[in-house]
Amino acid sequence: MLLKLIYSSGLRISEALNVTIGELDNKFLRIKGKGNKERIVPLLDEVREDMLSLIELCPYTNKQHSEGFVFLGKQGKKLDPAVFQKVVRILKNSLGFEEGTTPHAFRHSFATHLLSNSGDILSIQELLGHSNISTTQRYTKIDKKRILESFSEFQ
């Protein structure tokens, strides 16, 4: 579910791990990103429902405590990013995914997929929390490269 959240909302790992139970009442998440900048990102219904199911199944969750984190580790504390990165690395290796498959790659995929489906670069910049458009523009280069590769396949 954590990967699903990262991919569907374009969050960084740390941002996703800071989501609290009380935030799941809305269709949007209020995210504090780098530099304590706040932004609003969509929360898909399917992702919200999955997260609510996770909360119900987790033995450590205090369901009445809206300040509690959604993603918890073995000890009932907020999940450590390194633990999640290790899980993704294990999955990547066991499923034979590309070397660059990391949790952060799902954030990049979010941006690239939006852009390739007629997404507005300024909206994507806002969703990702980039303060500088040049940071977001690197996704246009990735997209152009992919288009050229696809085009050359048909020649």
pLDDT at 46: 95
For residue 50, give the CATH number of its domain: 1.10.443.10
Comparing CA positions, the residue from 80, 58, 70 lying closest to residue 29 is 70
Catalytic: 34?
yes
Cβ atoms < 10 Å from Cβ of 144? 10
Rg (CA), the chain: 17
Domain count, the chain: 1
Catalytic: 107?
yes
Q: How far apart are CA 51 and CA 38, in angstroms?
A: 22
pLDDT at 64: 55
Catalytic: 108?
no
Q: Domain span at residue 27? A: 2-153
**pTM, entire model:** 0.79
| Candidates 34, 65, 138, 146; catalytic one | 34
Residue-level pLDDT, tens digit, the chain, 155 residues:
899 999 999 899 999 999 999 899 889 999 998 888 899 999 999 999 999 998 888 887 666 555 789 999 888 889 999 999 999 999 889 998 888 888 888 888 888 888 777 667 778 787 887 777 777 777 666 555 655 665 566 55
Catalytic: 113?
no
